Structure 1
Amino acid sequence: MALFNDPIEIHRAPLVGDAYGRHRDWAQAVKVWEGVGAALPYRRSYKPEPAVRETSRMRITVYLPGAVAFDSADRLLIRGEWWESDGDPWPWRLGSRKYTQLYAKGVTK
C-alpha cells in the first residue's frame, strides 16, 4: 500500500434552489476535512463501451485515515485537481488500522 502522503481536502456545497430545481452551489463550498491520505491510480483509466461514448474518464481509489464523515455529494481536492465520489465510501481495515475507502472520478467543471 502506498504511503499516506497526498494532501487531501474534502469540500461540501450547500443545496440551493432556482427556476430549474435544486443543485449544489460550488461557489459557496466550504472545506469540511483536511489531512493526508493516499490517492492511488487504481481504476484510473476507464473507457466505456464504444457504442455508448467515445471519451475516457480518470478514476482513482482514495484512502483516508480513520472514519471520515464523507457525503456522496462532496468533492475532493487532491494535488490541485478536483474529484467527485463514484459511489458511497466504506470502512476498510488493514490489521488494526481503520480507513475510509472510496472511488473518485475527475471533475472538469
Structure 2
Amino acid sequence: MERQKTLRTCEKGHRYYKSTDCPTCPTCEKENKPKDGFLSLLSSPARSALIEYLGIDTLEKLAKYSEKEILKLHGMGKASLPILRKALAEKGLSFKEESTKK
C-alpha cells in the first residue's frame, strides 16, 4: 500500500510533498549541495550520511574508514562506492583495509 503524500513547509518557506517521515526539504537540499569536491558527486542521502553520521567532509577523513563501515550508513548505497574510490585514488588515498580475524 502506497503512503499518502502530505504537503509540508520547511523553515525557509519551501512547500513540498513527502510520503515518509523524513523532514528533509528537497529544495533546501539542492541549495546546500556543494558545487565541487567529492561530496558534490554524491546523492543527497549519501552526502548526508557521511557528513551527519561521521563528520566526513574531506577525503582524508573518508580514508580512515573501510568500505564496509561506509556502506552501513543509512543513506549510503553501493552506487556511491565507485565514486568514492575514484575520488580517493585521485588523491593517492584509499579506504581503510578490512581487518581479518583469524
TM-score, length of structure 1 as denominator length: 0.23
Give the structure with the higher percent strand: 1
Instruction: Find the structure with the greater CA-based Rg.
Output: 2
RCO comparison, higher one (Cα < 8 Å, 6+): 1
TM-score, length of structure 2 as denominator length: 0.24
